[in-house]
Amino acid sequence: MVPVQGSRQSPCFPQCVEWILQNQQEDGSWGHSAGPSGEVNKDILLSTLACVLALNIWNVGQDHIRRGLSFIGRNFSVAIDGQCAAPVGFNITFSGMLRLAIGMGLKFPVMETDIDSIFRLREVEFERDAGGTASARKAFMAYVSEGLGREQDWDHVMAYQRKNGSLFNSPSTTAASAIHSCNDRALDYLVSLTSKLGGPVPAIYPDKVYSQLCMVDTLEKMGISSDFACDIRDILDMTYSCWMQDEEEIMLDMATCAKAFRLLRMHGYDVSSEGMARFAERSSFDDSIHAYLNDTKPLLELYKSSQVHFLEEDFILENIGSWSAKLLKQQLSFNKISKSLMPEVEYALKYPFYATVEVLEHKGNIERFNVNGFQRLKSGYCGSGADKEILALAVNKFHYAQSVYQQELRYLESWVAEFRLDELKFARVIPLQSLLSAVVPLFPCELSDARIAWSQNAILTAVVDDLFDGGGSMEEMLNLVALFDKWDDHGEIGFCSSNVEIMFNAVYNTTKRIGAKAALVQKRCVIDHIAEQVPVFQPISFSPRLYLNFIVPF
């Protein structure tokens, strides 16, 4: 709806008008549906009304206007339904455009009482006691300026203009400023945007970094990131470049900055916590739109990012962690967190990221996965068509991993029977628990050999420990130490009991097998290296008490 400067009769972006004429849906709407069944949502109503206004202003597409008004009339109940997901400030922006349309003489096929309901919701929005400070309310009112029009103080709004000329990276808010304040930088942003994208424009631009980071985060939480390792590396390389250049798309958005910092650090990128300094104090949240809206997601992202600190005294991250945790707990106690997000918040507060079991996290995330995507401020829905495919892939991979773990358990049980470890009545032979201890740090399916080696080592360590912890005689303990000392020449000594024979053969032959597998990978023999790690004890100075916690390393 932005006119050419100096001529209010011609559109500044005729290609956008042409796109509107060419892309109306069969039902009379413009936009995309969010739900799995393609149901109408508030995003579609908002975009349809905006397109109708644009066509009417430039006096084209009368049939398109008629069909658009009919669509809005048929689905007007969605606009006043408080249970439907909505873009931030919908009650202000939709009612503002509705008032403008009525002022132009457009007729909506709805009852007058329904239109009055929309205007009442607008007044409720203005009067409601939201969160945050007075600065947060000012930021919110600036954010929804396209719904205020001439009522807005545009000089105040331009204080939020970014380096790229936009207001909040929002094309609609920026277009409103270009109309009402004739700001050249705002117009330059819109010209750049339309030259890149043509006719249609997104709700937020640029938003590439946040969208891609959300995808990376989702793939990791669902346990399928290894299938997209190259793509993830490319995304994080690009994000790191933006971070190092201090680009506003990352640094001025609370959720994007926090998510970028956490993912970059977790993947080994050298990013300083100084980049998070603007959020070190609680006022950074209290003065923001997020506080006004009681928006939990950015707050949760900040809390998660504060957990990724490497220095004992990182005051920036410590401060962020302190105040964000306090606010999250307050939101929980006052039931201000949505039901869909509440389990994630409770889990994050209860378990620091370094104290979690990733396999169990994957399972919980799969169970809670929302195939309808995530909400972004200017849009009620920001999902992708791949959401269902992501869920299906994650479920299949989780089930496959379970089958791999079960095969490994059966192998360990057969290994225990092969070396007769189950005949050692004094010893703890616990293959299931040993395997579980290996799955926690080594959960990827491709690390099967490492998990088995870990589990075997854990079992043999427990067996030897039990021998030295009262399960064997002094003669058996001295005999076992001597056998380890001789290693390949153990035949020179012999076994004083069947228990010692079982234990030594299990350690010796299992070590040989592990060494053979390692040689295939490392292209060299590692048996001698492993054998050298076995401690050499002198029988004369040997004390069972001294070696109570003896461990066989390999």
Q: How confident is the model at residue 537 (pLDDT cuts 50, 70, 90)?
A: very low
CA dist., res. 157 & res. 181, Å (int): 10
Cβ pair 171, 193 in contact under 8 A: yes
Q: Which residues contact 320 (CB under 8 A, 6 or more apart)?
A: 276, 279, 280, 302, 303, 305, 306
- CATH architecture entry for 1-128: Alpha/alpha barrel (1.50)
79-98 pLDDT, tens digit each: 999 888 888 999 999 999 99
pLDDT band of 532, cuts 50, 70, 90: low
Separation CA 461–CA 453 (nearest Å)? 12
pLDDT at res. 322 = 96
Residue ranges covered by each domain of the chain: 1-128, 130-204, 208-394, 419-541
- Mean pLDDT, residues 146-151 taken together: 91
Greater confidence (55 vs 370) lies with 55
Q: What is the CATH number of domain 419-541?
A: 1.10.600.10
- Residue 2: what pLDDT? 87
pLDDT at 35 over 50: no
Q: Return the SS3 of 11.
A: strand
Q: Which residues are 170's β-sheet partners?
A: 167
Name the pTM for this structure.
Answer: 0.85
| pLDDT confidence band for 203 (50 / 70 / 90) | confident
Write out the DSSP string of 212-259: HHHHHHHHHHTT-GGGGHHHHHHHHHHHHHHHHTT-HHHHT-HHHHHH
Mean pLDDT of all residues in 227-231: 95
Q: pLDDT category, 48, cuts 50, 70, 90?
A: very high
The Cβ of residue 127 has, within 10 Å, a number of other Cβ atoms equal to 7
CATH topology of domain 208-394: Glycosyltransferase (1.50.10)
pLDDT band at 546 (very low <50, low <70, confident <90, very high): very low
pLDDT reading at 473 higher than 70:
yes
> Residue 519: pLDDT above 90?
no
Q: What is the pLDDT of residue 536?
A: 38
- Kindly report, residue by residue over 384-440, the tens digit of the pLDDT: 557 889 999 999 999 999 999 999 999 999 999 999 999 999 999 999 999 999 999
How many other CB atoms are there within 10 angstroms of residue 200's CB atom? 14
Residue predicted with more confidence, 486 or 120 = 120
Buried b (16+ CB within 10 A) or exposed e, 530-553: bbeebeebeeeeeebeebeebebe
- Is residue 160 scored above 90 in pLDDT? yes
* Tens-digit pLDDT profile for residues 282-318: 999 999 999 999 899 999 999 999 999 887 789 999 9
Alpha-carbon distance 120 to 415, whole Å? 74
100: Cβ contacts below 8 Å, ≥ 6 apart: 53, 149
- 1-128 and 419-541: identical CATH topology: no
Long-range (24+ apart) CB contacts under 8 A made by 207-212 are: 207/169, 207/249, 207/376, 208/249, 209/238, 209/239, 209/242, 209/249, 209/250, 209/256, 209/260, 210/249, 210/253, 210/255, 210/256, 210/259, 210/376, 211/382, 212/238, 212/239
